[in-house]
Structures are given as structure tokens and as C-alpha cells.
């Protein structure tokens, strides 16, 4: 079975992800790479803690100096 990407839009979308997946879960992120892909930025993270653990790419689509959307790839 293939896991699907998690998509979050705007400030409230990212804030809801933070509330459900990070706060109180001792989550730690280690950025192991970054790259630009067109108008998006891809950050590869190693995640540890009491929730999700593993390596994932997070794609940030930006609009000026703000994040428009964030997609977490499994």
C-alpha cells in the first residue's frame, strides 16, 4: 500500500498540522537537504519523537514571502 501526501494550505492549515502532529510529541526535525523546484522549495527532514518518525520531503509553495501551501511526502 502506498501512503499519500499530506497537504496543508495557508497559515491555518500549517497551524493545524503543528497542533495535531508536533505539539506535545517531542518532535525533532533535522534538515538534511534543501533544493528549489520551480517556485517551490523542498526540504528533506529526518523526524524523530513520539509521533511520526522517518525521513520526508516537505514541499513549500511560496507566494512572495509567505507560504501558500505545504505538502509532506511520505
Which pLDDT does position 3 carry in this prediction?
Answer: 61
In a domain, 46, yes or no: yes
Residue-number span of the structural domain to which 31 is assigned: 26-74
Hunting for cell 497559515 — which residue is that? 11
In a domain, 16, yes or no: no
34 - beta bridge partners? Answer: 43
pTM comes to: 0.75
Tally of domains within the chain: 1
In a domain, 6, yes or no: no
Q: Which set of grid coordinates corresponds to residue 65?
A: 514571502
Pairing outcome for strands 54-63 and 28-37:
unpaired
Which pLDDT does position 1 carry in this prediction?
Answer: 41
> Would you give per-residue pLDDT tens digits along the chain (74 residues)?
446 788 888 788 878 888 888 888 889 999 999 999 988 999 999 999 998 889 999 999 988 888 888 898 87
Amino acid at each position: 500500500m502506498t501512503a499519500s501526501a499530506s497537504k496543508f494550505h495557508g497559515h491555518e492549515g500549517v497551524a493545524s498540522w503543528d497542533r495535531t502532529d508536533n505539539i506535545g510529541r517531542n518532535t525533532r526535525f533535522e534538515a538534511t537537504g534543501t533544493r528549489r523546484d520551480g517556485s517551490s522549495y523542498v526540504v528533506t527532514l529526518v523526524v524523530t519523537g513520539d509521533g511520526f518518525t522517518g525521513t520526508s520531503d516537505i514541499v513549500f509553495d511560496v507566494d512572495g514571502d509567505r507560504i501558500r501551501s505545504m505538502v509532506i511526502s511520505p
